[in-house]
Structure 1
């Protein structure tokens, strides 16, 4: 997942602000950023943390925008309507796109939301979107083209990539099968299964215990309550399936903190949110910059 700026936007101040915001996003969150210069208006770019390429707008449009159904679905209009008005002139300079195995979303208004009116989503403007990403992190990027299930899936993949727990990984583990009747009534197998069984995001088998992993996005009280209830039910069903003598370790993994401050700067809030995990001994991890820190003892 990366951000690409189609430069240069017509306004020089906006151009400088876009580059500054991309630099901040790269430095703060480790997001890959790059520039495709389709209209060099303001001379060389001296300092930038990503690749800078010079290309013609027509070539870039043909490679990434033309007949791009994913892009059209995510911006709710065809790429030709948004970026080639009248079907003749390519108009992509000043916009920022999200790249994830191709161009999947892009801003549809230059500059900031001032002057566009109340009907325009501020984060559909280039500066409005980059401001949001700089403040909220990668989740603001993901929500533009991923549904909730896909976004939570990225938390798991990032946690597993970080090798926080060393063991054999099993994803999407079905639990509760031990409660299914041996001979369910005719044609009710699927409905019974949907009622009784649940899915664990991941089980990591180690020499000491089996880790039950539940993922969520934003580290906050309401999300924690939901995740805690989910993991307690899933762990109980897992033990019923594997035997009550199975040693288990419970872990809830978040990858977004809703504050600009480092999590160490808000210990009182962290204690308040995680205190409810003390009884069942749930480990809580919070991710930042691709690393996951345990915030429970």
Structure 2
């Protein structure tokens, strides 16, 4: 068993804490990899090696969190979907219990029916060596799972960032207020961008208060749209390989190369570990970089870089004309 937590393989290779890299396992011939003490993980399938994730237990005062959640439910007027960082998964039973106490305190027995909690899907990640991109199209995170018989009434299931939840038939994500418990990190940004039409608030467990300022959501979206527009004017495109373990990464690299070539631009592939401004400054000829990684680490803030860094999905928007 190999325990990974931002482990450096050599001077220039860096493993992000959310990615299970089979490079480590292949080097020392291990049949199993454990991603240990992880708070941010995308749960992308590995290529060859199974992985078991052990989540950290960040402190959270359940009574304060439940009080903020209950008060927001009363004011919101819409059902609430509770999402959380994986480091706070251990505290969800305490939150639910404290929420029942709040409901009894205010003599509101129906409040529990307006609050829905997401669950951790699974702590085990199974390999998928033969994973292919169906019809050569990107698969989006947060995709609905509607494989059941359409003649039967069924809930709509969602999965994103290690969390899973279901909505009753006829309900949409836009019908819910999203209540995030956790830090303002890449996992939270992933949910913001995926469900950008939903109202989202965040409970900061460290400060013990509710953050209702949603201006960040609009700023992130505007920034990503701006990067897409800049990418359209690029002549030389660099493809950054940010993972060697997530299933389908090689197919994605080939798809990005074909996409860039069809758009009449030159494509170059780079494998350099974790990108930083100093490394990418060695390639000033590249007008834009496409970062092939998992859903959560691919969203890099490239303000300090000489050239913008976009995701494969944003590359499809920019180059698929």
TM value normalised by structure 2: 0.26
Query: What TM-score does the superposition give when structure 1 sets the normalisation length?
Result: 0.27
Structure ranking higher in helix proportion: 1
